Chains A and B, each alone.
Chain A
């Protein structure tokens, strides 16, 4: 996954999470919709933030597979 895609995911999911919280507080959407958005979007937000922080993203290698 390219860094640009990860950045886009992080920004978009962050905006959706903050918007859904704000709209629920203002009463524009129900608490249930805000909760559903949080449950679905929060993992994407956290994972993309984590990947953005990582030192570098590399191709995989082969782990210990047993003797």
Chain B
């Protein structure tokens, strides 16, 4: 099991590196090498580390452990074809990680990041809409059942396109440098994780690498189907590049606009779900 977790972590960090590279190239810069995020994480791990005197010590360290644990659990659920609802639940626990990270240190920058994390709870709404729409097609939320459905009827990407768009937006809202990344905006230094440095920052990086891998792999499994590991990895990379393009050409939205767009998207998908559920 540990081999899968470490592999997902390293591949996720490489995806983050690719993300930075593509954004840089689109913006006419050379950008860092793709393995930069791995070096970055290693650099943090070798730094001098302590826990702030003003911090809630248990929470300050606990959120790091929680972040690693929930994305490890999410990866295992994906690998075993478990329930999409469980993944949804873990995604919501990630919200607690964001709140806890921001509130644990006592710094106003990270507190503002945590407050923005609360208002950006709207980013969970498209996920809920996406899960509901998938259930309408497959009548099951087990990933193994969804895969079986796709083996018979083909990829869900086309018939459940609004759900795919919703999940794409969810991933976009969780990716660094994205239009919805208001919780780590530069006007708040690094936002909710400003005061997590050294080992804590390095481990957060690693956990978030795993998060990126899990979210992209979920998209591929749920909307394309089980296509084998090499093709899945290729699709994950292509998906990451497309997200990077969006991030490169889109400015970060204001908190109000970010929440508005996510809520409107969810509303449109909800109308589509009601149409499918009632009339179709």
Across the interface, which residues of B come within 8 angstroms of A47, CB to CB?
A: 61, 64-65, 68, 199, 203
Q: Does A57 belong to the interface (CB within 8 Å)?
A: yes
How close is A8's CB to chain B, nearest CB, in angstroms?
17
How far apart are the CA atoms of A65 and B106 in the complex, in Å? 7
A-chain residues with CB within 8 Å of residue B53 when the two chains form the complex: 59-62
A-contacting 9-mer, from B43-51, B138-146, B172-180? B43-51
CB of B274 within 8 Å of the partner chain: no
Give the A interface residue count (CB, 8 A). Answer: 34
Beyond A38-B76, A46-B68, A46-B206, is A17–B52 a contact (Cβ under 8 Å)?
no
Q: Residue-by-residue, is A34-49 near B (CB-CB < 8 Å gives 1, otherwise 0)?
A: 1101111011111100
Q: Is the CB of A42 within 8 A of B49?
A: no
Q: Does B202 contact A (CB under 8 A)?
A: yes
Give me 19 other A-B pairs in contact (C-beta within 8 A), A42-B68, A47-B61, A53-B46 excluded: A21-B2, A24-B1, A31-B80, A35-B1, A38-B2, A39-B72, A42-B69, A43-B65, A44-B65, A47-B199, A50-B45, A50-B203, A54-B49, A55-B49, A63-B107, A63-B195, A64-B108, A65-B106, A65-B107
Q: 29 A-B contacts, Cβ less than 8 Å apart?
A: A21-B2, A35-B1, A37-B1, A39-B69, A39-B72, A42-B68, A42-B69, A42-B72, A43-B64, A43-B65, A43-B72, A46-B68, A47-B68, A50-B45, A51-B199, A53-B199, A54-B45, A55-B47, A55-B48, A57-B48, A57-B49, A59-B50, A60-B50, A63-B52, A63-B106, A63-B195, A65-B54, A65-B108, A66-B108
